[in-house]
Chain A
Amino acid sequence: MRRTRLTWLRYVVLTVAALVFAFPFYFMLIGAFQENPTNTPDSIFPTSGWTTGNFAAIDSRIDLVGSLLNSLVFTAGVLLGTVVFGLLAGYAIARLNFRGRGVTWVLMLLVQMVPFQLLMIPLYVQITRGYGLGDTYLGMILPFAINTTAVFIFSQFFRALPKEMFEAARIDGAGELRLLVSIAVPLVRPALVTVLLVTFIGPWNEFLWPFLITKDATMQPLAVSLANYISNVAQSTANPNGAILAGATALAFPVVVLFCLFQRYFTASDLGAAVKG
């Protein structure tokens, strides 16, 4: 008797919470396609007034496609840097013995303790004034070019592989690069997907840094141009609420789709093991 009551309670708690969590997304998606997004509870399930005009409205102000492309280049740059250099570093730290390995490991732990906000001003000075990389993709990508958390997780995964395998391959004369690419990486592929997903959302959702270094609207990723739209130009649009929700949907949609596709890789044990170190 008590058990069933407990089970009921569990489902009630979970369902109420899930509705609270999902409702703003429902509101965003419906509102993005409404001529006049609702502000009253009785019209929460609209049956008429559908439109795609909101997307056209926001596109005319912030160049939706251009901004999405900027977001994509920014994110792709970070993913590329993290995969190429991060895998190399993670592999070396986990499986190779070389001078400087200990120092690299300590540096990696220290980096995770430095908050980005402390570095924000000096990085801004360094990258815009020192390197002249304001309003460039490279300037956007540089501070995130190699995701340290990803390097850390890579090294944890490589460390868990059996050492005999590496020794056998070395005796067979395989070079270290060959070992990494054709033996180590295929073995950790599922984990790789999780790390890539986590690395993806970082730059895709990042606002503060690209906001600081892009003054040129044609270089701004969608998060920045949407934020500018919300805080500056929204007043001068006929249906600003609908346009805001349309922009929000365009920014949220790729991540939600990616997550739903790769949801089964995104498990507690994978990330948990990594976080616990």
Chain B
Amino acid sequence: MTTAPTAGQDRVRAQRRGWLGAQPIGSLFTLPYLVFVLTIFAYPLGFAVYIAFHDYFFTAPGVEVPKPFVGFDNFAAVLTDERVLESFRNTAVFLVINVPLTVVLSMVLATALDSGVRWASAYRIAFYVPYLTASVSLVGVWMLLFSSGGLINSVLGPLAPSPSWLINSTLAMPTIALYVTWKQLGFYILLYLAALQNVPRELHESAMTDGANGWQRFRAVTIPGVRAATTLVLILAIITGANLFTEPYLLTAGGGPDGASSTPVLLIYQQGIQQQNPDTAAAIGMLLVIVVGLLSLTANRLTRES
């Protein structure tokens, strides 16, 4: 914001100095990044769209085989594939459990952690560490904790579900949702802590003089005060949830039992790379991006100030 007038002045100066700008060396500085973006993002993005609309398949190197344009055929094939529809339903189950839990828990824990708690850094370490640790490590731990003869079941005793959590078609996806909530929560707590610093102290103080109790202050001051952060948390949680791969691949052995915890990205891998059908895999990817975009827009709309 403070740079706006500078940019204006700079622009006038730049026009005087010519077409390349006041410091043309800037183009050289950004060149590696631009090359990177063009080869690693722009080109594959265009390629993804191309693959999705063609009958694309892998060939031996050097062999040229026609890959005809097929319009929306790949999308039609994907949308009538029961496994694909199931993976999107599974994602819906995941989001319904994960997103509200994430928003409520991270907001409550950040509020509890805000404003002078003793041992704050110890609590923070505990909350952030799962977020920073590799999912592969933590999935290994959860697998053992939630296995049939694992610690969780031996604590529950007769209440343990049968079949056990990860091999139970009703419980597999909710268990993954719990795992991801636990894994990612630290990052969202961090976002809420940043947002809470911008909630004016005076609002809390004046609410207290008005006789508001803790819960009323939380509802009337904290929640509206961190609305922008809530939008961000909602969108990021939706994106994370829609892009699950490692968890169903390892925790439930490839989206099991029998597809009950498969996800769109897992199918992209299975169809595109294992079964060598990159065209339908690319179509699943585009559908996924569209669905995530729509959900994010809705989340943004819902949390916008009225």
Which residues of A are interface residues toward B (Cβ below 8 A)?
A: 2, 6, 10-11, 13-14, 17-18, 20-22, 24-25, 27-28, 31, 37-41, 44, 85-86, 88-89, 91-93, 96-101, 104, 107-108, 110-111, 114-126, 129, 142-143, 145-146, 148, 151, 159, 163, 176-177, 201, 204-205, 207-208, 212, 223-224, 226-227, 230-231, 241, 244-245, 247-249, 251-252, 255-256, 259-260, 263-264, 266, 268-269, 271-273, 275-276
Contact = CB atoms under 8 A, between A and B. Distances in A.
Nearest to A111: B41
Contacts of A104: 30, 33-34
12 contacts: A10-B112, A13-B109, A21-B127, A41-B155, A104-B33, A108-B37, A111-B37, A118-B286, A126-B43, A207-B134, A248-B136, A272-B194
A268 B192 CA distance: 9
A96 B29 contact: yes
A111 B45 CA distance: 10
B164 interface: no
Contacts of A44: 151
B140 A248 contact: yes
Contacts of B109: 13-14, 17
Given A91-B29, A96-B23, A120-B268, A21 B136 contact: no
B26 A96 contact: yes
Interface string B238-261: 010001011001100100000000
Contacts of B128: 259, 266
A101 B26 contact: yes
Contact of A118 (B132, B133, B194, B288): B288
Contacts of B135: 205, 207
Given A120-B265, A207-B136, 6 more contacts: A18-B126, A88-B30, A88-B32, A98-B25, A226-B140, A244-B143
Contact of A159 (B3, B24, B51): B3
A124 B45 CA distance: 12
B207 interface: no
Contacts of B275: none
Contacts of B193: 268, 272
Contacts of B113: 14
Contacts of B136: 205, 207, 223-224, 226-227, 230, 248, 251
A269 B25 contact: no
B61 A6 contact: no
A146 B154 CA distance: 47
B26 A121 contact: no
A275 B126 CA distance: 22
Nearest to A116: B243
Interface of B: 3, 6-7, 10-11, 13-14, 19-27, 29-30, 32-34, 36-37, 40-41, 43-45, 47-48, 51, 58, 61, 105, 108-109, 112-113, 117, 121-130, 132-145, 149-151, 154-155, 182, 185-186, 190-191, 193-195, 197, 213-214, 228, 232, 239, 243, 245-246, 249-250, 253, 264-265, 268-269, 272-273, 278, 281-282, 285-286, 288-289, 292
B51 A21 contact: no
A208 to B, nearest CB: 5
A207 B265 CA distance: 13
Given A118-B48, A230-B140, A18 B127 contact: yes
A40 B154 contact: yes
A224 B135 CA distance: 11
A199 to B, nearest CB: 12
Contacts of B19: 99
Interface centre among B36, B213, B250 (most CB of A within 10 A): B36
A76 to B, nearest CB: 17
Contact of A89 (B29, B182, B214, B264): B29
A70 B289 CA distance: 32
